[in-house]
Amino acid sequence: MPWSIERIALAVAALVWAAALGVLAARILTGQYAEARGPTVLRTHDGVTETGVVETVTIDGAARRVIQWRTRVGTVTQTVDGPMRLRTIQGDPVVVTGPTSAVVRTVTAPGSTVILPGETVQNTVTEVSTVTETVQSTVTETVTVTAPTP
């Protein structure tokens, strides 16, 4: 039984439809679990809505979370010190964790519970101070010589 043009076109249309439904289902199911690694987030600053990109960078050997905000005056970098609640462009809430936070998610699967560790970043600060001190002192020495009389 040979394949006709109509059957081939119908099979291709069904495959495209199935792929579109798969992408839509994946987007709906994973939207609430959006992790703050690289999403574009929004904030309102001085009455103006600004967009920013969350990044993890290394500063002085320590990993830090920063947000690169695009503002009217250019790009402004904000270091994340603690958990921040923001929203993505799609409107989904997202929590950006700070440098010493540990994220642990619990996923319940049929039959058992699995715990997946998140990102843990240790924050170590080393401070070195060098002090140079110049001391000027004057020493006066007085010597008294007593000679015996003959």
* pLDDT recorded at residue 118: 64
CB 55: neighbour CB atoms within 10 A? 13
Q: What does the pLDDT profile of the chain (150 residues) look like in tens digits?
A: 677 899 999 999 999 999 999 988 887 776 554 444 467 888 888 888 888 888 888 777 777 788 888 888 888 888 888 788 888 888 888 887 766 545 555 555 566 555 656 666 566 666 666 766 676 767 677 777 776 766
Length in residues, the chain:
150
* pLDDT recorded at residue 85: 84
Q: What residues does 135 pair with on adjacent strands? A: none
* pLDDT recorded at residue 101: 47
Q: Which string of DSSP letters, residue by residue, matches 80-143? A: --S-EEEEETTS-EEEE--TT-EEEEEEEETTEEEEEEEEE-----------------------
**How many alpha carbons lie under 13 Å from residue 94 in its C-beta half-sphere?**
24
Q: Are 88 and 32 in contact (CB under 8 A)?
A: no
Q: What residues does 84 pair with on adjacent strands? A: 96
